[in-house]
């Protein structure tokens, strides 16, 4: 299947740091369809050779096992091309269309790896140039908008040019192998689904923790914040996959219909519930891995006195029969104690304990990163004598060990899906807008709150108020158990 893959923003960080290494891995693994061309477009004046050298130099920053040899890169580089484009100039889109039409590829994928405010401009120009035929797909990188109104405006323009089946809204968390195993765990096995409900589950925790600060992206991050950057998309997508009803098929719309039902069932926020069930924080100076690190307000390009949150913890509920009364706790932050992402399903305690000692409930831990796997925590008897207390044991599945062959990374998987036209792991416009609709009351209330975020020391798990929030339900975060 001959394809043309075009990156708008071809010299940007996302393209050379994530997308090109992912494409090279697909090329190395023999998964990149033959007959492909990869075109980068940007404002700079470069030749194909200049761009290939630019990418080769940046492969030095890729982890060593994924770097190409000179011979591998030479073969991969034959696929790479470059065009100078001013995204505001219609004639440049006409030139791009001519370049694409000369070969007549089976599939054309247009990847918008640019700032989101450019999405409407690019899509309108693509439509005017006729670059929206039935063989064309457009990939939209997050963040898709800054609020509900801007997201709706982007979607209106996209829909005026492309059909919903042509629009691939990407959330790279959905491409992680561990997230696909979440679907397999629930719907490919009979073990857990009968227990996956309020009668058996006490609470569910989703944590997306980062040890890094904002680095050199202070100006971008300050306009975004943790709620928009992580909760509105990544965390909510994970919540929908945990809470959704079994879809009738493995088709994209069947899955996305069920995810949308979850988003519509989330308890809406009010000023009272935001004050009670949402904690925002901002990191101060602290120590991580034995190294002193700066406060957020001292980072590069962060405005003095900024009230942007770098931490969010919140409590919500899915208001349906399956999940009524079960708390869902979502948490994310920068400069936290560990870099990891996990989902913890805490089961209820046995209704009538017969063994001595304090009862400890079972839990299922779904690790997403840095390693992905499953841990099932149980209680067992050592067999040391009468009246003994049960001891905690765990069944631990490391997917890297279980599947030792080369595994597919998130962007590699999603890029191959976009080329093949598989929409299962991409976000539909109504999902995206409903997620904005749910978080927007929090943003509005914060905008009118003069108190700002609570401080927390870098290298901790955020403001103490986060622990107090879950303690009201008689719960603790996983690391506190």
In what helix (H) or strand (E) does residue 401 lie, and over which residues does it extend? Answer: helix 399-402
Provide the 10 A C-beta neighbour count for residue 153: 13
Distance CA 117, CA 364 (A): 41
Distance CA 90, CA 121 (A): 10
Distance CA 339, CA 52 (A): 33
282, 311 contact by CB (below 8 A)? yes
Token digits of residue 443: 């943003």
Distance CA 137, CA 166 (A): 5
Torsion of Cα atoms, 436 then 438 then 444 then 450, to 10°: -120
Torsion of Cα atoms, 232 then 225 then 341 then 169, to 10°: 40
312, 331 contact by CB (below 8 A)? yes
Distance CA 43, CA 57 (A): 20
Angle at 318 between CA 273 and CA 264, to 5 degrees: 90
Residue 174 sits at φ, ψ, to 5 deg, of -70, -15
Going by C-alpha positions, the residue among 75, 77, 132 that lies closest to residue 109 is 132
Residue 234 designated active-site: yes
92, 122 contact by CB (below 8 A)? no
Sign of CA dihedral 110, 26, 15, 42: negative
Going by C-alpha positions, the residue among 361, 411, 367 that lies closest to residue 390 is 361
Whether residue 16 has a cis bond before it, omega within 30° of 0: no
Provide the 10 A C-beta neighbour count for residue 239: 23
Token digits of residue 125: 């120009």
Sign of CA dihedral 393, 332, 116, 443: positive
Query: Of these residues, 29, 81, 172, 234, which one is catalytic?
Result: 234
Token digits of residue 477: 């975060």
Q: What strand order describes the sheet that includes 373-380?
A: 391-398, 373-380, 363-369, 340-347, 201-209, 328-333, 311-316, 278-284, 454-457
Residues designated catalytic: 234
């Amino acid at each position: 299947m001959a394809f043309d893959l075009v990156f708008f923003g071809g010299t940007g960080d996302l393209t050379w740091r994530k997308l090109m290494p992912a494409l090279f891995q697909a090329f190395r693994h023999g998964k990149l369809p033959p007959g492909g061309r990869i075109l980068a477009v940007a404002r700079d004046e470069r030749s194909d050779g200049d761009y290939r050298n630019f990418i080769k130099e940046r492969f030095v920053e890729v982890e060593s096992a994924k770097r190409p040899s000179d011979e591998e890169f030479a073969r991969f580089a034959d696929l790479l091309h470059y065009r100078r484009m001013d995204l505001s100039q219609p004639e440049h889109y006409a030139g791009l269309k001519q370049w694409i039409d000369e070969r007549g590829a089976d599939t054309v994928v247009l990847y918008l790896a640019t700032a989101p405010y450019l999405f409407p401009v690019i899509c309108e120009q693509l439509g005017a140039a006729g670059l929206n035929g039935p063989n064309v797909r457009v990939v939209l990188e997050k963040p898709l908008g800054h609020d509900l109104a801007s997201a709706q405006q982007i979607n209106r323009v996209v829909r005026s040019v492309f059909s919903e089946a042509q629009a691939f809204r990407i959330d790279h968390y959905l491409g992680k192998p561990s997230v696909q195993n979440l679907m397999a765990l629930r719907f490919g096995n009979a073990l857990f689904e009968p227990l996956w409900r309020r009668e058996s589950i006490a609470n569910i925790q989703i944590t997306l923790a980062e040890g890094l600060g904002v680095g050199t992206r202070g100006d971008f991050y300050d306009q975004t914040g943790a709620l928009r950057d992580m909760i509105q998309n990544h965390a909510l997508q994970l919540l929908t996959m945990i809470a959704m009803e079994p879809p009738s098929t493995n088709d994209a719309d069947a899955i996305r219909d069920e995810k949308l039902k979850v988003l519509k069932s989330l308890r809406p926020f009010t000023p009272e519930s935001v004050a009670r069930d949402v904690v925002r924080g901002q990191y101060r100076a602290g120590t991580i891995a034995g190294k002193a690190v700066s406060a957020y307000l001292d980072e590069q390009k962060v405005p003095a006195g900024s009230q942007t949150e770098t931490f969010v913890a919140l409590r919500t509920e899915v208001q349906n029969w399956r999940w009524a009364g079960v708390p869902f706790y979502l948490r994310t932050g920068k400069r936290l104690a560990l870099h990891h992402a996990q989902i913890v399903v805490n089961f209820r305690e046995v209704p009538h304990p017969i063994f001595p000692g304090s009862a400890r409930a079972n839990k299922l831990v779904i690790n997403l990163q840095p390693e992905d796997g499953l841990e099932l925590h149980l209680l067992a008897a050592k067999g040391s004598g009468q009246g003994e207390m049960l001891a905690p044991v765990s069944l631990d599945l490391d997917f890297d060990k279980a599947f030792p062959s080369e595994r597919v990374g998130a962007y590699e998987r999603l890029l191959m899906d976009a080329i093949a036209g598989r929409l299962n792991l991409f976000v539909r416009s109504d999902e995206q807008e409903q997620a904005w609709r749910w978080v927007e009351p929090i943003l509005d209330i914060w905008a009118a709150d003069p108190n700002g975020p609570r401080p927390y020391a870098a290298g901790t798990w955020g403001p103490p108020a986060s622990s107090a929030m879950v303690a009201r339900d008689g719960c603790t975060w996983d690391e506190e158990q």
